[in-house]
Chain A
Amino acid sequence: MKTIISLILLAFIASCAHVSEPSREVASSNCYDSVKSEYHSYFDSFEKCIEKPKTK
């Protein structure tokens, strides 16, 4: 049982290590820096940063 768990863990770590970067562009850190600290727009601004590459 321990062996199986170890193998699963090992495989999971291995999968994380060699996952290729997503083909899309990653939103720039400037976008995250400009996220507003305003209660009603905070989460929306952050979500727009995540989605930003798709709008280019």
Chain B
Amino acid sequence: MKKIFFSILLISLTHSSFAFDTSVKGFIALDGINLQKIQKKPAESVIGIGVLDLKVFAEQDNVTAAIKLDLDGKLAEENNIFEEAYASYRGVYDWKFSLGKGIIRFQNLHWGAAMNTYLDGGSILGTENSWRKVSRKAYISAAYGHHNKGFIDTLAVFGDTSEIDYNEQGVAKTTTDTKKILTTYNYKNVTAFTTEKQLGVGNKFELFLTDSISATFGQIYYKNKSEDKPSWALDFGTNLENSIFEAWTDILVGFTNKSPYEKYTTFRKYEYFLQVGAELFLNEKWSLVGNSEYLYVRDQRHNVADAQYQDGSLIKSTSYKVESVIKYKLSKSAFVTMGGLYEKKIASKDGVKNLSYISGVYNANLEAYKLATSFSFWF
């Protein structure tokens, strides 16, 4: 009797089951035999996993949800295993509404040749720029348009998921190091932000001029209540793509202000970034890729004794890199790349040039080389 009862119950439930599609997509880049040399330091070889990403998509009718796992990130930190987790609704024609945690798009991000772009940490020597890929933000966004319409505009309101911890009186909690010299704010990881503490707005306008040419124009604004001025950036990019050639450019101008005890603090920082790259498809298997990037950062530091490196000095730094690889397509979604990269960083402190060491500046006035062989697979 029980069997019959359960059979009827379960079979009746199946009539209300939903159409549900899921997909798992991923990317893995393995550093084969990579040799890199920073001036005045011994050469070293890097072998292992370069990048590892996995993203799960679930889709049902007008709703899409996605979770991107940050498998090579700091998994011990709370809420850090997922870099993105959001849901999107497309029930209104031409509109897309999203809510969750993820990337705030305003730049025309493009991988370089042997390494990632400066805007996503692609440097041997390390760079001083603040406006990198804006990820791990809690956000709500609305996008209007699509490729056939000729444009897409995406507007997002966001906040950081690592928030300064305030006490009940609204005063930021701080920690002083064991030597009782340096003070830093306490942070806590949050899944949602409060606009009373911080607010960011980002916008990206993508214009599809033809089937093969597109342009992007992005703006971003961010301020939290510990900062006296808002930070902002403007970005302009172009993409050209056809069967024999692909080219990309990106220009970014940005300003950053942080309070003295925040991470990666600066009093007034201006940065200017330029990227130009191209890929030439020689045949179905082989292609040549070239990419060059330039970055100028003018960093006026705070003059606060108990904040790290904040001695009131003015740091100017110029970083540039030139890279080129030859790419071989092993299969539809597997590539081997072989090539090289040259990078140089020039920095000065209060107008004094050619210093061999500047506190708080990575590898000042050094150059670096890299010979890279890597294997990448998309699935």
Interface residues of A (CB under 8 A from B): 3-4, 7-8, 10-11, 14-16, 18-22, 24, 37-43, 46-48, 50-51, 54-56
| Interface contact A11-B14, CB-CB below 8 Å | yes
Most buried by A among B2, B7, B17, B62: B17
Which residue in A19, A22, A56 is a CB contact (below 8 Å) of B61? A22
Residues from 182 to 230 in B contacting A, C-beta threshold 8 Å: none
| Interface contact A50-B51, CB-CB below 8 Å | no
Q: Which residues of B contact A55 (CB under 8 A)?
A: 94, 146-148
CB distance from A21 to the nearest CB of B (A): 7
| Interface contact A50-B148, CB-CB below 8 Å | no
Which residue in A10, A16, A37, A50 is a CB contact (below 8 Å) of B57? A50
Q: Which residues of B contact A41 (CB under 8 A)?
A: 110
Contact with A along B93-126 (1 / 0, CB 8 A): 1101000000000000111000010001000000
Residue of A nearest to B377 (CB): A37
Q: Which residues of A contact B94 (CB under 8 A)?
A: 55
Q: Which residues of B contact A47 (CB under 8 A)?
A: 57, 64, 66
| Interface contact A40-B90, CB-CB below 8 Å | no
Q: How many A-B residue pairs have CB under 8 A?
A: 78
Interface residues of B (CB under 8 A from A): 2-3, 6-7, 10-11, 13-14, 17-19, 21, 23, 25, 27, 29, 51, 53, 55, 57, 59, 61-62, 64, 66, 68, 88, 90, 93-94, 96, 109-111, 116, 120, 146-148, 333, 335, 376, 378
CB distance from B85 to the nearest CB of A (A): 13
Residue of B nearest to A26 (CB): B21
| Interface contact B19-A50, CB-CB below 8 Å | no
Q: Which residues of B contact A15 (CB under 8 A)?
A: 13-14, 17
Given A22-B19, A55-B148 in contact, is the A40-B110 Cβ separation under 8 Å?
yes
| Interface contact A42-B3, CB-CB below 8 Å | no
Report the Cα distance A10→B62, complex, angstroms. Answer: 29
A-B contact pairs, 23 of them (CB 8 A): A7-B3, A7-B7, A11-B11, A14-B14, A16-B17, A18-B14, A19-B18, A19-B19, A20-B19, A37-B333, A37-B376, A38-B110, A38-B111, A39-B27, A39-B29, A40-B109, A40-B111, A41-B110, A46-B25, A50-B59, A51-B96, A54-B62, A55-B147
Q: Which residues of B contact A10 (CB under 8 A)?
A: 10
Report the Cα distance A42→B377, complex, angstroms. Answer: 12
User: Can you name 16 extra interface pairs (CB under 8 A) apart from A11-B10, A56-B148?
Assistant: A3-B3, A7-B6, A11-B14, A14-B14, A15-B17, A19-B17, A39-B116, A41-B110, A46-B23, A47-B57, A48-B147, A50-B21, A50-B59, A51-B88, A55-B94, A55-B146
Report the Cα distance A54→B59, complex, angstroms. Answer: 12
| Interface contact B335-A37, CB-CB below 8 Å | yes
